[in-house]
Amino acid sequence: MCGRYVMAKAVGDLVAEFDVQESYLESIEPSYNVAPTDPVPLILDRRDRETREISRKLVLARWGLVPSWAKDTKGAARLINARIETVTEKPSFRKAASQRRGLLPSMGYYEWQKTETGKIPTFLHGAEQETLAFAALFENWPNPALPDDHPEKWLRTATIITNAASDAIGHIHDRTPLIVPQDMWADWLDPETTSESDVRALLDSIPEPHLVPRIVGDRVNSVRNNGPDLIDAVEEPQGGLFS
């Protein structure tokens, strides 16, 4: 699974890197320890109802999907990830997989390698330190407690699709975020791709990522800690493990 990641890019950087035409964010608070239910930047393509032109947008979402039919937001923290194997079938995800796909920009993510004597916190990032684009789904949830004209009536939430990890990083964790390469961003975001078979084919065509693991310090274990020092490499502790 992916339960913690890094997103410390400025709005201008994301607009340029992802060819965004419309940004609804003035600034983004950098985070080296993004955790479930945190606000995160989301890239999506939508077709204008009047002009019929597709525009790429940068918006804010909360990490942890809340299906539009949910009665409340209590289950959001449990839906931070969606398994690629069942994402087009499960009721919580299948409509979003068909109609609401997005990209969550990231500089990398954390996993904790389990061993007999403890866990090793590891930061996984692109080989060229490039921005990663996690395959995401999003939903818009109407808060039934608020009137239709309330500015906070709608809550946008997102989940990260995960896949089985390759042998190269599978020893660290058996799941990894599905990472969309740049030459497939437009295909992934295309709002015209809606049938289950086409979405399934799109999912299956995304190649394995090439990620580099870096052992980091155990300060990342607490969501209260943040800052660029969290991704600094450390020597493997004596005995080979963090407790």
pLDDT in tens, 157-209: 999 999 998 766 777 888 999 999 999 999 999 999 999 999 999 999 999 98
**CB atoms closer than 10 angstroms to residue 211:** 22
Helix, strand, or coil (residue 10): coil
Range 125-144 average pLDDT: 95
List the catalytic residue out of 2, 29, 130, 208: 2
Q: pTM score, two decimals?
A: 0.93
Range 66-75 average pLDDT: 90
In sequence order, the 6+-apart residues with CB closer than 8 A to the CB of 92 are: 65, 67, 79, 82
42 φ, ψ (degrees, to nearest 5): -130, 135
Range 232-240 average pLDDT: 70
The pLDDT value recorded for residue 46 is 93
Does residue 17 carry a catalytic annotation? no
The pLDDT value recorded for residue 29 is 94
Distances (CA, A) of 3 to 29, 108, 159, 177, 232: 19, 12, 11, 10, 19
List the catalytic residue out of 17, 50, 111, 139: 111
Decide the pairing of beta strands 5-7 and 108-115: antiparallel
Give me Rg for the CA atoms of the chain: 18
Range 106-112 average pLDDT: 96
Does residue 2 carry a catalytic annotation? yes
